[in-house]
Amino acid sequence: MVKAGNDPLDGALRDGWSSACRLYEHLARGGDPMALPPSALRLQPGETRYGDAVLGYARLYGQTVTYNQSNSFWFGSASFVALGMAADAIGNASAKRRAEAMAAVQWRDQAHVRTSLTSQRFLCDYQGRWLNFWHNGVVEFACDLSRWSFVLRYEVGEPLMLHGPAAPWFAVLAARVIYGPQGMLLPAFAPLAAAVAERQRAITGEIVPPA
């Protein structure tokens, strides 16, 4: 899935993909997530920290936007007044379209944030504040490995998107923590399963007949 290159991003993507493959193989074979050493983060009783890295971050929501309308008083000839009123109408329509575009539901708050994954939640350090996204509120997990991203939708609150070179690794671990062992069976992880199987065939020298 990842092609070699000299760009630093290429190297980060390769490393991220390889790490995700190794983790997927470990968990799919029945292994357990590995806990990180204690850190300065204050966790809940019984909570375990599994991952910590910088990820791309965004939230999906709309907002209320106000705009000003121009209602100028025009006087003079009929043609001059008509042109002035038309200019006002065009300006007001343009302002309305801009406001509607700004208010529409879209990915907002985009940033790169330190992210910790624990047995109970994601913690995201956004603009100096630790934000909590609890696993017990998740209603849907959507992963797109081709875009190096995954989205968590919650019963309460806006969807959370995390992306970047480390996202596949975090996606695998999040699925395991949230869904248990059956999380490794999610269709989104088929590319990882295929990559692991291909590597295993290369190690054993197994020859797969053409379909």
Query: What DSSP string describes 74-116?
Result: --SSHHHHHHHHHHHHHHHHHHHHHHHHHHS-EEEEEEEEEEE
Model pLDDT, residue 201: 81
Q: Is 1 a domain residue?
A: no
Domain C-terminal end among 104, 125, 159: 104
Q: Is 210 a domain residue?
A: no
Asked if 40 and 116 count as a contact pair (C-beta separation under 8 A), the reply is: no
Shared domain for 54 and 72, answered yes or no, is no
Shared domain for 58 and 76, answered yes or no, is no
pTM, to two decimals:
0.77
pLDDT in tens, 55-109: 999 999 866 656 556 665 545 566 654 555 556 566 666 656 665 555 577 898 9
Shared domain for 166 and 137, answered yes or no, is yes
Shared domain for 162 and 110, answered yes or no, is yes
> CB-side exposure of 148: number of CA atoms within 13 Å?
17
Question: How many domains are contained in the chain?
Answer: 2
Domain C-terminal end among 49, 82, 104: 104
